Amino acid sequence: MIFRGRVQGVFFRANTAEKARSCSVRGWVRNLRDGSVEAVFEGDRTHVEEVIGWCRTSQPYAEVEKADVKWEEASGEFTDFDIRY
């Protein structure tokens, strides 16, 4: 998924990783060159939805203007939640 708005330089990736781990969601998050943030979440759908909702509305310093979600089948390739650079 892609988060757009004021999402870089505001600890968005670190806060997303902390929330995802607390919800047992696996995957990764990274900054994109256009100023947006891309994330892949994998886990129980209820937990994934919780993390997405939190990222949209409760990030301490970010202002998410738009969140583009694309649902796919879980790949099972992730064992943790990582910040990619």
User: Known catalytic residues?
Assistant: 13, 31
Q: What residues contact 64, with CB distance under 8 A and at least 6 apart? A: 3, 4, 5, 7, 55, 56, 57
> What's the angle, vertex CA 46, arms to CA 49 and CA 39, rounded to 5?
35
